[in-house]
Amino acid sequence: MKEAGMTNTTGYQGVVRVLRQRLAEGVYPPGGRLPSQSALARELAVDRNQIRRAQAWMIERGELDSAQGLGVWAPAGTFDYAIHAGTRFGPQLRAAGYQTHTVFRDARSIVPPHNVLSLIEMKPGSRAIRVDLTRIVDGLPAMLANHYYNPARTPRIAALIAETGSVTASLARLGLELRRGVTSIRSRLASRAEARALGIAPSQSVVEITGCNVDEAGDPLEVSVAIARSDRIRLYVPAETTGAGKAQ
C-alpha cells in the first residue's frame, strides 16, 4: 500500500500534486530542503525526469525555490529590515532571532558606474574596489551585496572583509566607522546571474537598495548596492530624529 501523498503520481503533474500536498501539510517546512531528485524518484516510483520537470514548473511559479549547488527547498518566510542611520544587516536580523552569516564572493578593482562614482565623490573613470557578498538568512540566500570603496581611503579593505566576513569590523580595523547617508530603493526584474545566486526565477522581481554610507564627518566612505529577494524582505524606514539616513 502506498503512503498518503503518494497516489496519482503519473506524469509530472502527479508529482506536483504530491509536492503541493506535502508543502501544505508541513512535511517540507518553510526553508526546508526537499530530498534529492533521485530520492524522490525512487520514493514516488517515477522517472527522475518527471521530478525535474515538476520542480522546474513549481519553481517558475514561486511554489519552490532553488539555487545552483544548494538544491530545492520550500519557500522561506519573510523578514523585516529597517533602514536607518545605524543600519547593520547581520546584527539587526540576529537580534530579531534569525540565523544569518555573510559569504565573501569576490573582490576586484573596477571602474564603477557613473552614479556610484558620483555618490562616493570620485572622478569619472576612477577605479574603485568592489567587494561582492551574499547575505544568508536561515540557511538560504536572501541578498546580494556589492560594496564600492575608494582605495585611497580604505587600503586592504577587500582582504579584511574576506578575513572577518564583516564590513563594519573591517572598517573598524582601519579606524573608520560608517553610518547610512542617503538610500534609494527600486524594484526591477532579476538578471539571470542574480536569479541563479538568489534561487529565484529570472522573471521574479528583486528590490535594489543603493546606499551611500558616510564616516563620522559626513564624508562618503562606501557605496553599497544590495539586491534582495522581494518575496523575503519587508523594508521599512523608521522616522529619524537626526535628519540622517533619509530614504529617497
**How confident is the model at residue 238, as a pLDDT?**
79
φ and ψ at residue 22, rounded to 5 degrees: -70, -35
pTM of the predicted protein model: 0.73
- Residue 6's pLDDT band (cuts 50, 70, 90): very low
Residue-range domains of the chain with CATH: 11-73 (1.10.10.10), 79-236 (3.40.1410.10)
Does position 203 have pLDDT exceeding 80, yes or no? no
